[in-house]
Structure 1
Amino acid sequence: MRNAVISRDEILEASRLMLQEKGWSAIHMRSVAVRCGVSVGSLYNYFPSKTELVAATVESVWQELFHVPEDLTGEERFCKVIQWLHDSIQEGNRRYQGFLTLHAMGFTTGEGKVEGRRMMERIQGQLRDALCQVLREDGQVNQSVFDSRLTPEGFVELVFSMLITALLRGEEDCEPLLAVVRRVLY
């Protein structure tokens, strides 16, 4: 065991690496402690349970993968961001086997399921908020398509749901979704 103090970030980095190498079944308090070179008790200082460790690992994967790039500018920026999001989720699902499916099915049981769902909703809410901001800032969008029945937030929710569904079905291309978005917005 190492004597140095370990950080929460180091634990999560080790968990992500284990996830990449061996999948979700590798994430256990004992195996992560071994990977970090610390006692299991040291992990409990940061994560009171395996459920919280897994939830934090999932959240750190989302944060690693999703940060809307500032350099996606120009024509049809909203569509570019949708394409980028599709590609990022697809890459994350390749890098972290079953990542997207795990979210769709719920990654824990019992009380952890509630916390996992809350965490997932918070991160997906941040993504939807970022999409809404991009939608509002895209100067090419025909703003007259929006009214009290179809708000920018409602449109983003619909697009986000369609994107996740397409990815869960294993669709490699999001061009049909982008074609619909273009017809509605531009």
Structure 2
Amino acid sequence: MNNVQFKGVMIMNTVVTSKEAIMQVCRRIVAEKGMKALNMRLVADECGIALGTLYNYYADKDELVLAVVESVWKDIFHAGFQEGTEVSFCDFTAGLYGRIRAGAQAYPGFLTGHSISIASARHGEAKSAMEHTFAHMKAGLLEVLRNDPCAAADAFTPSFSREDFVGFVLDHLLVLLVQGQADCRILLEMIRRVVYK
């Protein structure tokens, strides 16, 4: 087996025995071949382990797919993110859009393809995994919004909460990405009008 390069890092094609190492291989497969190519036998072969060993980590393909979808989303969400950096909510949202858009290019077809993969998986677990992933994104957005020193003090009320607004922003950000929009300028203008009165 040959060594491969993924995102500028040389990955040796040796025996893989940790969940994170398996996820690295899975992300590479998704980046190179798409979600449809992901299957237990291919992952085991690419990891250099027996198929039965992979089943020790993931009970079936559904469980593996759910883990991969969550792993890819985390990779996309955290790419280029610097903790502790003060940034406005508007700038953070624009940066998040750019990261997800770049991630969509790094993982071609992922934004639309993972929905199909999730739909064919066990419904309850798939829904829970996606809720967890999007809750993580919402939490990041909410933290930035709460800490934005330029946000108007009276921009939010009990009937128009930060949490609801962040949910609205994330939903519309994802719709724009699936539509293939080059930017989210209209969404950013809405944010400016609401948050920075």
Post-superposition offset of 1:123: 1.1
Counterpart position of 1:132: 142
Counterpart position of 1:181: 191
Q: TM-score, normalised by structure 1?
A: 0.90
* Structure 2 gap segments, 5+ residues each: 2-12
Counterpart-to-counterpart distance in 2, 1:139 and 1:147: 17
Counterpart position of 2:181: 171
Counterpart position of 2:33: 22
Counterpart-to-counterpart distance in 2, 1:106 and 1:14: 18
1:143-177 CA distance string (max 9 Å, x none):
20211210010111111111111111111111111
1:117 aligned onto 2:117: no
1:60-119 CA distance string (max 9 Å, x none):
111212134236535xx10111011111111111111221113445624252x3212211
Name the count of aligned residue pairs: 183
1:53 aligned onto 2:64: yes
Change in Cα spacing, 1:103 to 1:72, as seen in structure 2 (3 Å) is farther
Change in Cα spacing, 1:3 to 1:61, as seen in structure 2 (3 Å) is closer
Q: Which amino acid in structure 1 is aligned with residue 18 of structure 2?
A: S
Whether the aligned pair in 1 keeps the contact of 2:119 and 2:126 (CA below 8 Å) is: yes
1:100 aligned onto 2:111: yes
* Structure 1 gap segments, 5+ residues each: none
- SS of aligned partner of 1:139: coil
1:4-58 CA distance string (max 9 Å, x none):
6611111111111111111112211111111111110000000000111111111
Counterpart-to-counterpart distance in 1, 2:167 and 2:94: 16
- SS of aligned partner of 1:73: coil
Percent sequence identity over aligned pairs: 37
